[in-house]
Amino acid sequence: MLQIKNLNKSYPIGDTSLHVLKGINLSVENGEMVAIMGSSGSGKSTLLNIIGMLDEADSGEYILDNLPIKNLTEKKAAVYRNKFLGFIFQSFNLINYKNALENVALPLYYQGMKRKERQELAMFHLEKVGLANWAHHLPKELSGGQKQRVAIARALAANPKLLLADEPTGALDTTTSHEIMAFIQQLNDEGKTILMVTHEEDIANMCKRIVRLRDGIIIEDKKVNQVRAEQYV
Amino acid sequence: MFKFLFDRDTWQEVFDSFNKNKLRSILTMVGVWWGILLLIGLLGSARGLENSFNRLFGDFATNSVFIWSQNTSKPFKGFQEGRRVRLSLTDAQKVEENVNGIEFVVPRNQNQATVVRNFLSGTFSLGGDYPLLDKVEKKKLIHGRFINQSDISDRKKVVVLSEDVYKQIFEKDEKAIGQYIQINNINFKVIGVFEVSNISMGPRIDMHIPFTTFQQIYNTGDQIGWMTITGKPGYDIVQIEKDAKLLLKNLNDVNPNDNTALRSANAAKEIGRVTGFLTGMQFLTWFVGVATLIAGVFAIGNILLITVRERTKEIGVRRALGATPFEIKRQIVVEAVFLTLIAGLFGIISGGWILIGLDAAFGQGDDAVIVNASVSIAVVFIALLLLVILGTLIGLIPAFKATSIKPIEALREE
């Protein structure tokens, strides 16, 4: 599904530059659920952004689904993002003047899908996250957990190969976090490959594999026994 | 390529972002609205003024000059100063024969006369005229005809009345043609009724009778009151005026440097002054209107720039979800054009209202200051086109700004 070889990334800071990723090697198989952990500044978000084609590596290889991701034009990157990737953000990043249904339908809009089809599909995904009754509510009328579920529905809408989550529970209380994690686990059970950045140990343990980063290098990469989130809900 | 313009979603996006920033969008649009309102209002009023001048001069050969005689102010060839100079038919004929570039010379006479019909009467100016007058000073005949050559040769007692005279001595809707009226106790047959023109060059005549008939009644002989001269196209009417006056001074033993003996009014000079003023005003109008418009469009660009800044994160999200930079740019440009266009349309409509208001306030009646204040469809289209172009150009700035930020930076911003 995903191969990364000797990935390097540095950010210029004034005259010097900050070397954030120093030769990352990572390979993720289909159906895996990987947590990327590390303290802040360890480079975990940068790695996720590069995987998400939101950012570009300075050197190294990145192959997504047998497709080398290199020197992409903005347009191409946009198309790939739309086709291959679903994003879940810490702060949900819903568009606040669009209702839940429209938010979910947005990636499909950029796919060029017809309005009616799009809305039906979006509705289907909203039902899946249990928010069909909230379809016409604006994000401000939803609770944090509901917002994140809308965001998950949006990430799923385009049926991506890989789901990328950046601290998906970072802005949620424990109970809601577990709800969301249970949901993400369920998605993984259904076969979705999931990559998530977190700094919470218990959340990471709900994944199947933990990759630890420190100062731009992977210091640990191990499979774990998945803790099911349902038991806490 | 323009398929997206017919896509409901494109407009949904525009309306959503408009609704999100309702007050600000409206305030911005006021700038453009005001600009186009000024443009339409000013252009319309300028046109109205022009129309009113045109109506004034419309029936009137613009390359014409009036010459009449008064008292001399200088002694010459044994004549004392203060002598009354009298122009004659011979003078008119000589002018026509000798001055270069003349088209017509129309000798005219004038007097006051009392007109009576049944129990109605009035005092009006009476003119003895040739058919040629109709060529120099187009008469708008409501009924009947103007004086013709046979009236002149036979010294017919026929009269062409102005509307005012008709209203004074005829009942409403009464047929005037063929009726007889008394002018200074002589019966005249009415052959025509004309609409009074607003032109005030030369004395106003309310009743035209054949020149020859006038000669006979008032026993004026060879004398004429004044003459109207028109120049052929391509000849300078000012030069014709000079030449004619010099010739007339010669014929009437007047000192060539005498400035009072012969008086003249040159229509071309007056009209030129006015039209020059109008052209200047129109230029000013365009200048002011377009400048205001540009200021308004810049305001829209400025606001969009701020909006884009505020929407950085949203744009980042959209790009993460697969919006291409082109789609983002297109959306912002569409928003800019939409705002300018809507504001412009409102401006055109309210500009139209202003013109309607002006018309109601100043545009009624015969001596209206502003006649038919309006702008042509062409001007409206030019203004709209200008709006679209300016809107697109100004929309490109925030559009490029929006996509110059990498999605990652946009998302990182909290």
| ipTM score assigned to the predicted complex | 0.88
Q: Which residues of A touch B322 (CB under 8 A)?
A: 78-79, 81-83, 107, 110-111, 158
Taking a C-beta distance cutoff of 8 angstroms, is the pair B188, B210 a contact?
A: no
pLDDT for the residue B381: 86
Could you tell me the domains of chain A?
Answer: 2-232 (3.40.50.300)
E strand map for chain A: 2-13, 16-28, 33-37, 59-64, 67-68, 85-88, 162-166, 193-198, 209-214, 217-223
At B412, the pLDDT band (50, 70, 90 cuts) reads low
pLDDT for the residue A212: 93
A151-173: average pLDDT: 90
pLDDT for the residue B45: 84
A95 touches chain B (CB under 8 A): yes
Taking a C-beta distance cutoff of 8 angstroms, is the pair B248, B97 a contact?
A: no
Judged by CB atoms closer than 8 Å, whether chains meet at A93 and B406 is answered as: no
At B61, the pLDDT band (50, 70, 90 cuts) reads low
Contacts of B216 (CB under 8 A, 6+ apart): B155
pTM of this prediction exceeds 0.90: no
Q: What is each CA distance from B370 to A17, B46, B104, B278, in whole angstroms?
A: 72, 8, 32, 13
Q: What is the pLDDT of residues B116-165, one digit of tens each?
A: 888 888 898 898 988 888 877 777 788 888 888 988 898 899 999 888 88
Q: Which residue type sits at B73?
A: S
B202-219: average pLDDT: 86
Q: What percent of chain B has pLDDT over 70?
A: 94
Q: What is the pLDDT of residues A176-192, one digit of tens each?
A: 999 899 989 999 999 99
Residue A53, Ramachandran bin (φ over 0: left; ψ between -120 and 50: alpha; else beta): left
Judged by CB atoms closer than 8 Å, whether chains meet at B325 and A75 is answered as: yes
B23-32: average pLDDT: 81
pLDDT for the residue B56: 66
Look at residue A114 and give its three-state secondary structure: coil
Residue A120 pLDDT greater than 90, yes or no: yes
The answer to whether the Cα torsion of B302, B305, B309, B313 is positive or negative is positive
pLDDT for the residue A36: 93
Q: Which residue type sits at A172?
A: L
Residue of chain B whose Cα is closest to the Cα of A93: B317
Q: Decide which of A41 and A99 is more confident.
A: A99
Residue B59 pLDDT greater than 80, yes or no: no
pLDDT for the residue B369: 74
- Among the residue ranges A18-32, B10-24, B149-163, B167-181, the one predicted with the least confidence is B10-24
Taking a C-beta distance cutoff of 8 angstroms, is the pair A43, A216 a contact?
A: yes
| Least CB–CB distance from B411: residue in A54, A83, A154 | A54
Look at residue B11 and give its three-state secondary structure: helix
- Give DSSP secondary structure letters for B72-93: -SS-BTTBPTTPBP--BHHHHH
At B238, the pLDDT band (50, 70, 90 cuts) reads confident
- Angle at which helices B377-404 and B22-58 cross, to 10°: 160
| Least CB–CB distance from B321: residue in A49, A75, A110 | A110
pLDDT for the residue A146: 92
